[in-house]
Amino acid sequence: MMIYPTLELQNGRCVTLERGRLDEPLIWHVDPLDIARSFAAAGAEWMHLSDFDAVVGQNSNAGLVEEIIRAAGIPVQLGGGFRSREQVEHWIDKGAGRIVIGTQAARDPDMVRELAKYHPDQIVLAVDVWHGQVMIEGWQTPSAILPETYLAAFEDAPLAAIIITDIDSDIAESEASLSVISGLAGLARAPVVARGTVHTADDISRLKYLPGISGTIISRALFTKAIDLSEALELAVPTPEQVADFR
């Protein structure tokens, strides 16, 4: 299972969100470039980068995002406010390894299917689920689309992955039952990356054995030091099953 250590940016600073609220970020006084480099140094193969200013249509972090892509030393999966084909292709040209599309996929699914066709292994669909509905606009607006229907609409698209967020679990920071994500993973054709379910190392140990889960995104737990990245990477490796030695 792939661990995606995550940086979330707002106003050029590393932040994490309390209860998913963009207007109440928890600011971490660290250098984003240093943190990105530390992910690679710990052994991560990918990192995830969310630009919260881009989510609300601002471009203030563009320069910093470019620096992180160049400096990280590992491929960057980039999300935040992608509203047009031109934006997606701009950041692919700038070196982003993958582009995550959420709200715009609900508004223009044909665009996402075409992008996935022309940029194989680089387009990721974000599916944010709350109370059984797909949420859009940074978790702010219910779309009235059932997640099962949403996944079916993209089943033939050659997506690199699908990020499924259990917003209920992420907000509550409870012991995740994983039932929402595991159920949807069984319907998805593309590899599923879980988000919002990992708060402790034990969550990784449970998650890695779920069928259809190829990875997980971890942000706040790394910054609060509830999880050590090196330990998380070790835990994510499947434990070999013992085989009887018949002689």
∠ CA 93-73-201 to the nearest 5 degrees?
115
* DSSP string of 25-68, one letter each residue: EEEE-S-HHHHHHHHHHHT-S-EEEEEHHHHTT--TTHHHHHHH
Q: pLDDT digit string (tens) for 192-231?
A: 999 988 889 999 998 998 888 999 999 999 999 999 999 9
For the chain, the average pLDDT equals: 89
In sequence order, the 6+-apart residues with CB closer than 8 A to the CB of 191 are: 160, 161, 162, 212, 214, 215
**How many C-beta atoms lie closer than 10 Å to residue 140's C-beta?**
13
Are 26 and 18 in contact by the 8 Å Cβ rule? The answer is yes
Domain ranges of the chain: 2-235
> Would you say residue 246 has pLDDT above 80?
no
Catalytic residue among 53, 128, 166, 203: 128
Which of the four pLDDT bands, split at 50, 70 and 90, describes residue 170?
A: low
89 catalytically annotated: no
Q: Which 8-state DSSP code applies to residue 184?
A: H
Q: Which 8-state DSSP code applies to residue 241?
A: P
Q: How far apart are CA 222 and CA 103, in angstroms?
A: 26
CATH assignment of 2-235, among 3.20.20.70, 3.40.190.10, 3.30.1490.20, 3.90.230.10: 3.20.20.70
Nearest to 97 by CA among 78, 118, 120, 71: 78
> Would you say residue 31 has pLDDT above 60?
yes
Average pLDDT over residues 33-40: 97
- Residue 221, SS3 per DSSP: helix
Q: How far apart are CA 82 and CA 88, in angstroms?
A: 6
> Would you say residue 68 has pLDDT above 80?
yes
Which of the four pLDDT bands, split at 50, 70 and 90, describes residue 50?
A: very high
> Would you say residue 188 has pLDDT above 60?
yes
Which residues of the chain form beta strands (DSSP E)?
Answer: 2-10, 13-17, 25-28, 47-51, 76-79, 98-101, 123-130, 133-136, 141-142, 161-166, 192-195, 213-218
